[in-house]
């Protein structure tokens, strides 16, 4: 961790984005986090990538971690996040990179792949397959109970009131415990999502109190305003893209114990339908993998990522 460098790069709009990086050279891997994560969620992968001769770069999105918030957080979009990825590459004078993305970071990576195809060398997604812009995700959410966490958090003000009862560290603890489970996180009609987990609940054995403090401190700084807008209140966002095909080698890593796997239609799309959009796709299942597979099983995930990069991108 002490070898990881931290710097800030400026976007075209003047926002300063925090970037963590390690390693040197022109074989660049950009790591895009999910929620409730920040750059730190890639700590295990960054060390492994640098050790194998790659340059690993993990940003905090605008409004996350140490990055500046957008001027109007309620208007932040996935398109903004994808443009920030391109701006980071521009600032660091990197023409192309492979992208590794997890959870809603896959939505960012998907838009980056479609809007900036000339900048993409390959793509690895964890937990969620490539997802084209449009109303598909909201259609799936409509099939889930009203108490499903993502439906609740789509509602302006509801999560803010729920989270506001606790400090940021406790909110992150509860979400990590909840998302590490195998069931779809769903509250009863008279219950809020944060009430599904006790504030003193034990963390997963692969996530330490020190890790939690790192996350808690950064979310205490950033708050959750942008994080609730993107992804949860932006999932229907469209993009004017004529060609929805990703034409680079890709890998999808799925944890078989990830609660997301129980979403309606997920299995059909993740194992078959996605190949309509990503024809050169390899799919790998990790039998014990949870929603946070890169933190839970870092050695297995690192081996898969390094094997893919070495064989398919920089062979």
Pick the closest to residue 126 from 245, 22, 261, 241 (CA basis): 261
| In the predicted structure, residue 156 carries a pLDDT above the cut 70 | yes
Per-residue pLDDT of 62-83, as tens digits, reads: 999 999 999 999 999 999 999 9
- Catalytic site residue from 80, 84, 103, 162: 103
- In sequence order, which residues have a C-beta less than 8 Å from that of residue 64 and are 6 or more positions away? 33, 38, 218, 222, 226, 227
Widest distance between CA atoms in the chain: 55
- Catalytic site residue from 68, 211, 215, 291: 291
Quote the pLDDT of residue 123.
98
Surface-to-core class of residue 280, CB atoms within 10 Å of its CB (0-12 exposed, 13-18 middle, 19+ buried): middle
Question: Average pLDDT over the chain, rounded to whole?
Answer: 96
Quote the pLDDT of residue 209.
97
Per-residue pLDDT of 214-250, as tens digits, reads: 999 999 999 999 999 999 999 888 888 989 999 999 9
| In the predicted structure, residue 136 carries a pLDDT above the cut 80 | no
Q: Is 232 known to be catalytic?
A: yes
Instruction: Tell me if 291 sits within 8 A of 36, measured CB to CB.
Output: no
Q: Is 276 known to be catalytic?
A: no
Quote the pLDDT of residue 272.
95
Q: How far apart are CA 308 and CA 306, in angstroms?
A: 5
Pick the closest to residue 297 from 106, 44, 51, 57 (CA basis): 44
Quote the pLDDT of residue 74.
95
Strand runs (DSSP E) across the chain, as ranges? Answer: 5-10, 16-22, 28-32, 55-59, 97-102, 120-126, 250-255, 281-286
Pick the closest to residue 29 from 111, 134, 128, 100 (CA basis): 100
Q: Is 291 known to be catalytic?
A: yes
Task: Give the residues across from 251 on adjacent strands.
Answer: 124, 282
- Catalytic site residue from 54, 232, 259, 269: 232
Quote the pLDDT of residue 236.
86
pTM recorded for the entire structure: 0.97
Give the model's confidence band at 23: pLDDT under 50 very low, under 70 low, under 90 confident, else very high.
very high
């Amino acid at each position: 961790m002490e070898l990881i460098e931290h710097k800030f790069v400026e976007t075209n709009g003047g926002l300063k984005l925090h970037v963590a990086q390690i390693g040197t050279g022109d074989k660049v891997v950009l790591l895009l986090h999910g929620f409730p994560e920040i750059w730190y969620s890639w700590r295990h992968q960054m060390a492994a990538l640098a050790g194998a001769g790659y340059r690993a770069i993990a940003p905090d999105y605008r409004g996350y971690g140490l990055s500046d918030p957008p001027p109007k957080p309620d208007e932040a979009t996935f398109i903004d996040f994808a443009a920030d990825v391109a701006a980071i590459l521009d600032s660091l004078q990197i023409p192309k990179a492979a992208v590794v993305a997890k959870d809603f970071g896959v939505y960012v990576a998907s838009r980056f792949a479609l809007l900036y195809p000339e900048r993409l060398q390959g793509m690895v997604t964890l937990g969620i397959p490539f997802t084209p812009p449009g109303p598909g995700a909201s259609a799936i959410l409509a099939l889930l109970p009203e108490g499903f966490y993502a439906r609740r958090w789509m509602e302006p003000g509801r999560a803010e009131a729920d989270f506001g009862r606790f400090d940021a560290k406790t909110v992150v603890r509860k979400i990590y415990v909840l998302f590490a489970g195998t069931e779809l996180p769903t509250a009863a009609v008279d219950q809020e999502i944060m009430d599904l987990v006790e504030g003193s609940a034990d963390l997963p054995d692969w996530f330490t109190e020190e890790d939690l403090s790192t996350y808690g401190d950064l979310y205490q700084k950033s708050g959750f305003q942008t994080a609730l807008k993107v992804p949860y209140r932006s999932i229907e966002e469209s993009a004017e893209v004529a060609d929805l095909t990703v034409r680079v080698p890709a890998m999808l890593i799925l944890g078989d114990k990830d609660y997301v796997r129980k979403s309606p239609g997920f299995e059909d799309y993740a194992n078959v339908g996605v190949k309509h959009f990503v024809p050169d796709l390899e799919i790998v299942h990790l039998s014990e993998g949870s929603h946070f597979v890169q933190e839970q099983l870092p050695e297995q995930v690192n081996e898969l990522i390094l094997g893919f990069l070495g064989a398919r991108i920089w062979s």
